[in-house]
Structure formats: C-alpha cells, structure tokens
Structure 1
Amino acid sequence: MWSHQRCFNAKQRHRWTRRFKTRGQVARSVIMAVTVLLKEKNELRLRIIGESHTALQVLRERLNGHKDVDYANYFPGHPELDDPEFYIRTTSKAGVEKVLNDIIGGVAAEFDDATL
C-alpha cells in the first residue's frame, strides 16, 4: 500500500508541514494578459492569454449574477491551440467596463484575506 509518508524523509516532511501550518497570505495578485477583440458601449469580447477554466468560470458566474449583465460566457476553443475568449453584454443602462471592473474588484477582495 502506498503511503505519502514514505515519499519524504523526516527533514522534507517537517519543511512541508511547517509551510502549511503557517498562517499567511496564500498568493499574490496575478497579472493576466488580455487582448480586446471587440469593444462597444454594452459589449466586450476579450482573449485571455494563458488562462484556464478556473478563473473564467468564477468570472462568468459572477457576471451572470450581476443585475446589469444581460449575457456573459467564455469560449475555450482548442485546449492546445487557442486561448479562451470571453464575451460580455450588459443592459443598455450599464457600461460594460464599469461592470467588469466592479466584478473583478469584488472577486479580488474576497481572496485578499485568504490564508492557510
């Protein structure tokens, strides 16, 4: 039977457990490379370079839950060849950039105090 404790010697195991017992900031902000493909008053289409489903699903869920968003979705394309594209359409009274900045700021604030 496989045991994770056999994979590490005592010194390595101590270093690993000490790292995860400390309370501190989990991660720092990450800058994502974004290309604007379409920008109109109520529509925005972005290509997000090097991103996977993880962040895009959170962003899509939050945008679709916002009262001023009519539609938000991302299109992953081919996993090895294409970078995902994100599409946002807001209602006529809301500017797409303001809504996107509000959502991104809210998500970032939720993770500011995340600790292990």
Structure 2
Amino acid sequence: MDVKKRQIVRTNEKFLRDNVNSYEVTPHLISCGIISLDDDERIRQEITESDKTRKLLRIIEMHPNGYLTFIKALRMENKEYIIEKLESTAVDEEEISRGMRISFDGIK
C-alpha cells in the first residue's frame, strides 16, 4: 500500500474499526491473494471485532494492492458509506513528505 493510502487508512482507523466486519471482507481478500489463510487465522484469534479489523488493516497495509482490493471487498458488501468516508479523506502531503524523508534516513 502506498504512503497516501496508508495515511487514509490510519486517519480513519477508529471509523474502520467501528464499521468494518472482518468476516465480511476477508473472503474476497483471500481470493485475491491479499491475505493468506494463515493471516485469516491470526485475524480470527483476536478477541474483539475491533481488534480483528485492526489486525486486518495492518496486514493489508503490507500489500501493494491492499487498499484497492479492500475497497472492492467493501463495495461487494454494499459498504458504500465506508468507501465514501475513505475517499473523502484529505491527505496531508507535507506529513507524507516528512514520513518518507524520515523513512529514507533510516530513523523510522
């Protein structure tokens, strides 16, 4: 997942944890190769649905196509209000620039 998409996910993490049911989106993410069966098992081991969604988000952040496939999974589940929230999130270009600079310096 690119830095901008990661920022969108992180900015909306509380909203996503409150509104995404991991059981609804994981089948699509598995079938598209974004998460593995082992990942799914790790997600299911979390106790609360909020923690399951947090774990899911951390896993999809590591995949280059994670965000777009997550959006497709949400669309398949008729979760347009979640997609609209994500797509309307402003991205802080300066913060992204600082984050990338820190990452390249090896500090992050």
- TM-score under structure 1 length normalisation: 0.33
TM-score (norm 2): 0.35
Higher strand share: 1
Looking at both structures, which has the greater relative contact order when contacts are Cα pairs under 8 Å and sequence separation is at least 6?
2
Greater Rg, structure 1 or structure 2?
A: 1
Would you tell me which structure has more helix in proportion to its own residues?
Answer: 2
